[in-house]
Every structure is written in C-alpha cells, then in structure tokens.
C-alpha cells in the first residue's frame, strides 16, 4: 500500500454464521504495508469445519486517506515473505 491507502480485513459472513472467525485482532493494514498477510482463523463452533483451497474466507476494503500518512508502516512484519508467527 502507498502512504495514501489503508486496508481493512473482513471475514466472510458465511463463515461467521458457521462459527469461524477470520480476523480476531489485526484487521487494519497500515499505509506503507507490504508483504504477505497472516490471517488469524478460529473455529468457535463445536463442530469440525472444512475449508477448501481457493474458498473465499475474507475480503479487503481499501480507503483513501485525505492526506498522505506522515510515516509508512515500519513494524516487525514489514516485507513478510510468508505467513509468520508472532515476533516478540
């Protein structure tokens, strides 16, 4: 993303109705972010749930900022080349 765009991750409501949560804490993607996003997926139901490769589980919305962010995202996950575990 460039410094004038933020993105917000949304779980698909079809999965939510089955008890599957797709972004638990990290739904905002900051201006300047680049890399591969790591999704947090949780099964809150008491039944096994099957996800199929290629099945839509989330969507992104993009918002244009009125002014450019004064600083790009420079956090520990910038430039992630794959799914990453938490870095402390």
Residues carrying an active site annotation: 40
- Which single residue is written with the structure tokens 């300047």? 32
Between the two ends of the chain, the Cα-to-Cα distance in Å is 24
72 alpha carbon, distance to own chain's centre:
17
Residues 87 and 75 sit within 8 Å (Cβ to Cβ): no
Q: Take residue 61 and report the two structure tokens written for it.
A: 């919305």
Q: Which of 23, 55, 62 is nearest to 39 (CA)?
A: 23
């Amino acid at each position: 993303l460039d410094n004038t765009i933020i993105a917000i991750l949304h779980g698909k409501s079809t999965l939510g109705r089955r008890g599957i949560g797709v972004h638990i804490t990290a739904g905002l993607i900051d201006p300047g972010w680049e890399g591969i996003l790591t999704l947090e997926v949780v099964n809150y139901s008491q039944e096994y749930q099957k996800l199929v490769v290629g099945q839509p589980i989330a969507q992104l919305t993009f918002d244009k900022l009125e002014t450019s962010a004064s600083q790009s995202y420079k956090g520990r996950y910038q430039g992630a080349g794959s799914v990453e575990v938490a870095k402390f």
